[in-house]
Structure 1
Amino acid sequence: MKKSFNIKRALRAAALAAAVLFSMNACDIHHGIDAGGDATVTESFSFQVNVASQSQLRLEGVNGPIDLVGVPGATTVEIWGKRRVTSESEEDARAYLRNLEVRVSDSNDEIFVQTVQPQNTHGRSLEVVYHVRMPGNWRAIIKNANGNVLVDSLQNQATVAIANGNVELHEIAGAVKAELTNGNMALTGVRGSVRAELINGNVFVETILPKNGACELKTVNGTLGLQIPKATSAEFDAEVSNGTINLVGLTLQATASSPKALHGRLGSGEGSIKLNTVNGNIQVAGY
């Protein structure tokens, strides 16, 4: 159990390291030559949108880390970060930077933030680093191809889908949905239903399941860790193909078990917990 739960600590450290990159300069362009001899040109960007009738922020990135934090009582949405192009020469990187755009659109119900770039970059490396601060009672929807995603302090739903990187969600009062292909996932302080799917990597979830809520966690290759209150009320189902199931600090009633499956009821069984992994262990602890 300890090994799985260390994911939370490791991912939080990585996310906090990314968060110190804050800069609010709108036109700060600089360049440098990296150890590989490539030239990198970077430009800062920043946007501020007044809060009106919107209730959701949707962000679609391509390459680069994203951190989003809910701010109680906020009357504006702040979006800032860096656009970065690496190429074989400074001249080419600077010229190509115009093809890497950050677009922000405002509709009646949502703010939409999007990275726009050519599909074929002809060997150039493109990255956008995002920092977002928005009202804490908004919903958040984030899609990213490559890069870590951190979401913190929301009183509403959070949906995250990325291909490669780590996902870290903290203190989310609404329902959470997270999908990841390659990387690790840590969801802590969740107080709504949880659905998380991961292909390659470890997943750790610490949640207080609401009455009649659901927690569904799936991974193919990796350890699955779940931490819940001892008073949790839910039907419990856990299955593995190649691995073990370990349950500590919880009383499971009406138990049916086999070497690869464990079924039963926690409390009066009002909610639902379903855990499944192919290659890895399932570790569940009550606190």
Structure 2
Amino acid sequence: MGKKVVALTVIAALTAGCGDSSGPNGGGGQVDNQDFLAEVSLNIDLDASARTTFNVVGINGNITVVGVAGTDNFQIRGERQVWSESVADAQDYLDRLQVAVTEIGNEIRIRTVQPSNTGGRNLVVNYELSVPARLTAQLVNINGNVTVQLMDDIVSVTNTNGNVTLDDVLGDQLVSLVNGNVESQTPILAPNGIIDLVTVNGNVALDIPQNTSAQFSATLVNGVITVSGLVFLNPVQTLTSFSGTLGGGQGSIDLQTVNGNIQATGF
């Protein structure tokens, strides 16, 4: 289960520099409540015709990605939000809560930039992305849910607190999560494709076609493993693990949790 250490290292590395520490407490003092909201919508459009990959580094908020076939239009929607003890203070911190978008080589990079000390305020950026389905996606978040739909290439998700849901992802699926559930409904696993779904505290659920070809492994520490609708060659089952070969065993499926249940279902 050493992958979780790697995941936390990745989060620390990618979120380094996302804080703005200008001024004491990032420019404001401690607040007593979060009763007032200031917010503004995100509305950014990019031409992704020369891009092959994108990454998002969030801090607090949900990340939703929907792939669209046959387009080069990359749309960033959502909102920046700040809750504080007054409208004026919330608006002040909203100006400090920004989304940085850069295009370098074949990559689009999106990240949340906020004061390193929020002084008890709640700062949130929710991302709703409509992107070319052909792109490779790397998503990193700290607090919030991550949802990905209809992507054709590799999807990598690293999250600390929140659920991860993948629907109709045709490329490799690489998920590393600390607290939350992982769910994936996969219409097809490509030859030599990889599904690697890992959480520490939470459940893992995978729906795959019955004709999937892969080496399958599910392991946990505290919980129950349930497998249904799938035919395995040479299955090996213990109280905390299940492994076997699906079809010709060309791909790889690895499901892991420490505290939680694992369910794999064939359809």
Equivalent of residue 38 in structure 2, options 38, 41, 56: 41
Shift of 1:214: 3.8
User: What corresponds to 1:183 in structure 2?
Assistant: 180
**Whole-Å Cα distance in 1 between the matches of residues 49 and 257 of structure 2?**
43
1:132-281 mapped onto 2 (5 Å cutoff): 132-189=129-186, 208-281=188-261
Higher relative contact order (CA 8 A, sep 6+): 2
User: What corresponds to 1:51 in structure 2?
Assistant: 48
Question: Does the 8 Å contact 2:171/2:189 carry over to 1?
Answer: no
Deviations 1:168-215 (A, max 9, x none): 11111111111211122211125xxxxxxxxxxxxxxxxx33333344
- TM-score for the superposition, normalised by structure 1: 0.72
Shift of 1:99: 0.9
1:72-83 mapped onto 2 (5 Å cutoff): 72-83=69-80
Query: What RMSD in Å do the two structures reach over aligned CA positions?
Result: 2.5
Shift of 1:255: 4.2
Q: Name the aligned partner's letter for residue 263 of structure 2.
A: Q
- TM-score for the superposition, normalised by structure 2: 0.77
1:120-135 mapped onto 2 (5 Å cutoff): 120-135=117-132
Shift of 1:259: 4.2
More strand by share: 1
User: What corresponds to 1:196 in structure 2?
Assistant: none
Q: Name the aligned partner's letter for residue 65 of structure 1.
A: N
Deviations 1:231-284 (A, max 9, x none): 333344444444444433333333444444444433343344444444444433
- Number of aligned residue pairs: give it: 235
Q: Name the aligned partner's letter for residue 98 of structure 1.
A: D
Q: Name the aligned partner's letter for residue 67 of structure 1.
A: T
User: What corresponds to 2:59 in structure 1?
Assistant: 62
Residue identity over aligned pairs, in percent, reads 40
Q: Name the aligned partner's letter for residue 189 of structure 1.
A: T
User: What corresponds to 1:97 in structure 2?
Assistant: 94
Query: Where do 5+ consecutive residues of structure 2 fail to align?
Result: 1-32
**Whole-Å Cα distance in 1 between the matches of residues 54 and 156 of structure 2?**
11
Query: Where do 5+ consecutive residues of structure 1 fail to align?
Result: 1-35, 191-207
Question: Does the 8 Å contact 2:220/2:260 carry over to 1?
Answer: yes
